[in-house]
């Protein structure tokens, strides 16, 4: 069978591949790009609206982005970096809205971001965190209150029926956002499909890949199986991106690149309680995050979220994390077992030995009853009625396991790009802060794999026109931040 030649092959049709496709298409419209998705459409795994929390992560409300160091001091660097990275996404989306590629109303909404805490210790933490963050221009709009009337005004539903408000405090940023990453992905792909040189293959799985290094032809040889017919077709690509979400690790292992050695995955499932009472949904308009329970992993910080899904407001609480052996929601229960290899077994054993508490926590979460889940919700909504809430499954997150000399292996809760030394293949592992920083993450892929072309005046100019702050620091340059933020907030209708 004849081999189909392409320049760029993107495995997976989620937000990451869609973002990389749009960047590459703008930088070089002559590149032939092929996106391969095993499901019947794009954005049906983690990027789908109900499979993630839709928070435009900017560090406004997520308390785990400002951890304490070993001296008990609050560190704000991570929150600043995530905020600046999210501004890069907002700029890219704004330019695409102005050009008519995206429709803002269909994928992003203004939903204030709040952190709320109870108790003397957590209130003192929140007050200090606010003081540190608000002193930086990125967080200048953040408000703090312990005042009961203001708390009622900010979150009326959460305050109703509450007996004790002493030592309750909250922060609020009005221009926080709810992002429907599924709708965003579908809009990006719908636009790409109108362009020459872009091909989308759905119900098609990348089942094998192998590096080829002949003098006349280097790159990757792939087999793509059309699932309904079972037929496989050979492809050759100069560059491959494994944007396969939880499916990226097995393909990375199959690639055989030395940079992948020692990597493993630790899958964590997620569940929400979804409100079915319209009157309650209308009374809440915020994303309210609080502290994670002691021993809980950072991705299970509880939050009560206003969401906009298919044009309708919704109210979700969670996520409840749980133990799973699947790497994708629609994956196989043998995914975890199949990922164990000679080259990563030491890292996996190290993680098992040093994270027994986390495993126990996740298994306990799986066996919670509806009433136990409701009890967690009642910390937020004291009057919550079990009949108003239904359980639904969210997406899977595969946390990164990598080598570490001290403990053999360590568990990471962030995102990481693993790329081959020659820049012909890159994979995205991990899921936090996730889709919110997809533009910055994909710019990092380009930097690692298209380094020379990224320095060319043509690509620099093109990136500047898409992301006005490109190449400059929004953390250091307050005047640039003001200009950029005024523009993105107004273009995306996030201003108050
Ligand atoms: C519970 C939960 C809450 C989250 N909350 C947030 C949030 O509030 N804000 C935020 O920014 N991020 C959040 N995230 C993270 C965010 O959802 C992910 O970072 C993002 O969606 C990942 O996009 P992706 O394109 O890498 O993967 P996906 O959207 O999962 O897409 C990967 C695609 O690859 C396909 N695929 C896999 N293997 C193959 C193969 N061999 N061949 C062909 N196709 C294949 C899959 O079918 C899938 O469609 C959350 C995630 C979870 C699970």
- In 3D space, the residue among 138, 144, 143, 140 whose CA is nearest the CA of residue 124 turns out to be 144
- Residue 398 · residue 335 · CB < 8 Å: no
- What pLDDT shows up at residue 217? 65
Q: Is the CB of 39 under 6 A from ligand 1?
A: yes
CA torsion, ordered 325, 331, 333, 339, to nearest 10 deg:
-60
Other beta carbons less than 10 A from residue 143's beta carbon: 15
Which tens digits make up the pLDDT trace of 350-371? 777 777 777 777 777 777 889 9
Q: What is the pLDDT of residues 400-410, one digit of tens each?
A: 887 877 778 77
What pLDDT is stored for residue 400 in this prediction? 82
Nearest residue (CA) to ligand 1, atom 41: 206
pLDDT for position 132: 98
> What pLDDT sits at residue 182?
98
Mutation test residue for ligand 1: of 10, 21, 52, the one with most atoms within 8 Å of CB: 52
Q: Which residue's entry shows tokens 């708390």?
A: 151
Q: What is the pLDDT of residue 191?
A: 98
**Distance from the CA of 270 to the center of ligand 1, in angstroms?**
13
- Interacting residues of 472 by C-beta distance below 8 A, sequence separation 6+: 480
Check residue 401 and give its pLDDT. Answer: 84
- Indicate if ligand 1 lies below 6 Å from the C-beta of 180: no
pLDDT < 70 positions in the chain: 164, 215-217, 294-299
**244 CA closest ligand 1 atom index:** 34
176 lines ligand 1 (CB under 6 A): no
- Over residues 156-198, the pLDDT tens digits come to 999 998 876 778 999 999 999 999 999 999 999 999 999 999 9
Predicted pLDDT at 294: 63
Distances (CA, A) of 430 to 101, 148, 340, 382: 28, 39, 17, 34
The pLDDT value given to residue 299: 67
The greatest distance separating any two alpha carbons of the chain, rounded to the nearest whole angstrom, comes to: 75
Distance CA 255, CA 263 (A): 13
């Amino acid at each position: 069978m004849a081999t189909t030649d392409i320049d760029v092959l993107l495995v997976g049709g989620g937000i990451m591949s869609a973002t990389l496709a749009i960047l590459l298409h703008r930088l070089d419209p002559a590149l032939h790009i092929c996106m391969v998705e095993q499901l019947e459409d794009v954005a049906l795994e983690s990027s789908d609206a109900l499979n993630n929390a839709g928070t435009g992560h900017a560090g406004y409300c997520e308390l785990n982005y400002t951890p304490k160091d070993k001296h008990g001091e609050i560190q704000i660097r991570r929150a600043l970096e995530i905020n600046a990275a999210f501004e890069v996404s907002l700029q890219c989306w704004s330019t695409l809205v102005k050009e008519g590629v995206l429709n803002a109303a269909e994928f992003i909404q203004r939903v204030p971001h709040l952190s709320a805490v109870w108790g003397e210790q957590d209130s003192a933490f929140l007050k200090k965190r606010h003081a540190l963050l608000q002193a930086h221009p990125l967080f200048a709009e953040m408000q703090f209150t312990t005042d009961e009337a203001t708390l009622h005004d900010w979150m009326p539903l959460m305050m109703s029926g509450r007996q004790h408000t002493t030592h309750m405090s909250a922060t609020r940023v009005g221009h926080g956002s709810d992002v429907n990453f599924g709708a965003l992905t579908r809009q990006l792909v719908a636009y790409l499909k109108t362009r020459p040189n872009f091909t989308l293959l759905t119900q098609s799985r990348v089942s094998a890949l192998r590096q080829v290094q002949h003098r006349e032809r280097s790159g990757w040889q792939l087999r793509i199986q059309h699932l309904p017919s079972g037929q496989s077709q050979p492809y050759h690509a100069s560059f491959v991106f494994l944007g396969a979400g939880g499916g990226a690790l097995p393909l990375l292992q199959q690639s055989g690149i030395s940079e992948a050695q020692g990597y493993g995955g630790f899958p964590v499932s997620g569940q929400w309680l979804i409100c079915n009472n319209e009157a309650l949904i209308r009374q809440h308009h915020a994303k309210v995050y609080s502290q994670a329970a002691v021993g809980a992993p950072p991705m299970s910080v509880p939050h009560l979220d206003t969401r906009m899904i298919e044009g309708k407001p919704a109210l979700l609480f969670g996520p409840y994390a749980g133990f799973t052996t699947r790497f994708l929601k629609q994956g196989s229960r043998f995914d975890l077992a199949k990922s164990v290899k000679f080259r990563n077994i030491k890292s996996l054993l190290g993680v098992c030995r040093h994270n027994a508490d986390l495993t126990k926590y996740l298994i306990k979460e799986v066996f919670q009853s509806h009433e136990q889940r409701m009890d967690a919700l009642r910390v937020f909504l004291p009057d919550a009625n079990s009949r108003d809430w239904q359980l639904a499954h969210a997406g899977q997150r595969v946390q990164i396991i990598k080598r570490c000399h001290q403990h053999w292996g360590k568990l990471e809760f962030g995102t990481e790009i693993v790329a081959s030394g020659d820049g012909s293949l890159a994979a995205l592992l991990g899921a936090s802060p996730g889709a919110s920083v997809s533009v910055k993450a994909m710019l990092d892929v380009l930097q690692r794999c298209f380094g020379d072309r990224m320095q060319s005046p043509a690509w620099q100019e093109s990136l500047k026109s898409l992301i006005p702050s490109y190449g400059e620091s929004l953390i250091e340059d307050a005047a640039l931040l003001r200009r950029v933020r005024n523009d993105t907030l107004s273009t995306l209708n996030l201003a108050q």
